[in-house]
A and B are shown apart, each in its own frame.
Chain A
């Protein structure tokens, strides 16, 4: 039995994990293991399941789950600072935000929580909620829409800034070790992703779909920050793999494909699973005829050199801003009685994809929303077929779904075999605003999103990973839900109305809730500390920690 199988099959039992005794050092052997007394990577482990084997907090005692502490993240400048902004910098337009919204998944290592927000990074005592240090970044600009969190290697932390620098901090003190430019903010890149560490590779994604730049994923050296490899999400020149899906080099080198999310990783196969964003110009496809590889795709890369092993395009020639930047969840499952290494994705375009992660071949493609009109169905290889009549037009077209889901991460529970996803059955009137032969930027937009189905538009859905069938749905007020499953037969997430909720993973019935000051804005995490299980969730500018009353 291979390592990964052992780890996955033991996922139900609490694995003891030995942490290095001194300081905040993250023991590299912790990475990729089911999280127990740490939450050491963005997804907890590398699988993207956001599943914890912990069960001290469980369906039987959930009613006694109580608030342990609240931490409000500082939006102020800190004397512990860095950054490239200089007074009079002509590119400076954004500046520090008045408020912080925590969209980052915190890491928890040796009793300390590490997280980030645009222009900020923080260390907070996981036992008390008290700040240990705060680092502030003087920005040159860039869209300050969010930050998904930090990556960790030994004593080093890594996070990205809206003006696209990778910053490394000493986890013990919060002092900057170095910063490196990832992309040029003046070209309208902006960076939100959380780095993820695979051995000695800091995997770094980028964002920025405003003005037709190229997406890429990088691996950087944790000691120096130097680039180990860079993989572009679009071909660089005619003749390159995928170049026959673009009309010319100009289109492909301005073709978008952002890497908004950290990849998931299978250590046994040594493959990264990279979801890529939408092509550019976004709503105006006139200058980019073809499938536009490798945008809106799931791509398997070798983390040691960035070479592509296979790809599966989930939205060929996307024209609706349906970046496929939703978590590729690794599942070791059974199909037709045979064990299979699978990767599942509930994509923003409304389709659920189940793919063989050894070779990229489709197992299943089925819609998980009730109604879609942008697609005419699925072809023999599991790829959606576009309905060109639903491309944005000057007089407007009604497109469904508007956005079936988005970056808020799903969760997979191996005990139930269900993938939990926050979804919206929405509609948008999409207009083409740029009719030039060379459209630029978004080139159009969506107007309004409407609820269907006779009631509220958003549902928490539980998808059977083998069949894609929706086993249950539960009405919520807003479909962007970040979720966490535990072996305590619990599913944690928001309800879109300011409540943090524990749901029954078999039925979707709410078992416990707490009303917070804001809607949960990040994915919850869980870990053991001093023999007690904690659940931590971010909402607005606060982290909330819960543990059992005693």
Chain B
């Protein structure tokens, strides 16, 4: 089975973003929309627009001719005489190497240095590299996690069986069997903290019914007649409640005040209750323990 990884912050965001929309809005929300430009355009797409071969060629030339002053990552800093080129206004305003090329060919801005002998293709590759690095820094959805597992598996196991009470719902030989082979550390930590990745099995109308995931919230609706109906909670507001029942049928009722009565059970309540209690070490240790369950 392929191991799921949260390589980037975006990767986790994409799944974690709707983890806790506990009663899912039936309509798009303003706050749920991304920061992209046209339609679905995202930072990832912007980064893909840079020719990887040109970026790599640019990196090689930059390493040879520029890095001694600007640092290999072009950010300058302590011990480097050249400025940060990622935040350089000239570089930010450059169009495909035009301004960078003009500057380098007319002589390095630091006049104590000789003109840098660079061919037009080399200048173009350096410009591509720098614009790629700028786009990376400016687009947080591209960020690569630098995660290293720091927890203590033994301590995690003790927490699992003791203070955390995790064993009341989970078992290393049952539902968690092989979990360490299926998820990387950041995803394990997201599962520990929030209990689920991705949707919670809303069973929304219009979707073919499938077996609801065990993390789905369930509701029991008690009508004034005393009749009850139970199922996966689809929607709950002050004015209506919608469930999908065991037969896969969507049922809804109007609400006024607290009638009909709606009793919601959340399988993730144990996770919710732990959130204010966790130390970061608890989460790191639990992740280290779960990672051993291959």
Report which A residues bind B (CB closer than 8 A).
Answer: 90-91, 93-98, 101, 103, 141-146, 184, 186-188, 210-212, 250, 254, 371, 373, 389, 393-398, 400, 406, 408, 426-427, 429, 431-438, 440-445, 447-457, 477-478, 480, 495-499, 501, 510, 513, 515-519, 521-522, 540
Contact = CB atoms under 8 A, between A and B. Distances in A.
Given A97-B39, A397-B280, A433 B144 contact: yes
Given A184-B92, A478-B21, 10 more contacts: A101-B33, A145-B35, A394-B147, A395-B284, A434-B143, A437-B78, A451-B22, A478-B25, A480-B30, A510-B239
Contacts, number: 232
Contacts of A398: 193, 275, 278, 280, 283
B31 A452 contact: no
14 contacts: A91-B95, A97-B39, A146-B30, A188-B138, A398-B280, A400-B275, A441-B139, A442-B140, A450-B20, A495-B238, A497-B26, A518-B28, A522-B30, A540-B27
Give the most central of B41, B49, B146: most A CB within 10 Å. B146
Contact of A519 (B9, B30, B35, B37): B30
Nearest to B151: A395
Among A438, A445, A450, A495, the most chain B Cβ lie within 10 Å of the Cβ of A450
Contact of A477 (B23, B149, B266, B276): B23
B280 A452 contact: no
Contact of B75 (A440, A455, A517, A540): A440
A436 B134 contact: no
Contacts of A95: 37-38
A188 B93 CA distance: 10
A179 B112 CA distance: 42
Nearest to B273: A454
Interface residues of B, number: 78
Given A94-B37, A143-B37, A395 B147 contact: yes
B148 interface: yes
Interface string B12-26: 110011011111111
Contact of B146 (A211, A435, A495): A435
Contact of B137 (A97, A211, A519, A521): A211
A431 B75 contact: no
* Binding site secondary structure of chain B: loop
A327 B278 CA distance: 33
A424 B190 CA distance: 19
B147 A431 contact: yes
Given A187-B92, A499-B239, A510-B238, A433 B146 contact: yes
B26 A513 contact: no
A141 B276 contact: no
A142 B78 CA distance: 32
Given A210-B139, A395-B284, A431-B147, A438 B77 contact: yes
Given A94-B41, A429-B193, A510-B238, A451 B147 contact: no
Contacts of A144: 35-38
A210 B137 CA distance: 8
A441 B137 contact: yes
Given A436-B73, A438-B75, A447-B190, A519 B29 contact: yes
Given A210-B139, A433-B144, A143 B35 contact: yes
Contacts of A146: 30
Given A97-B37, A389-B280, A211 B143 contact: no
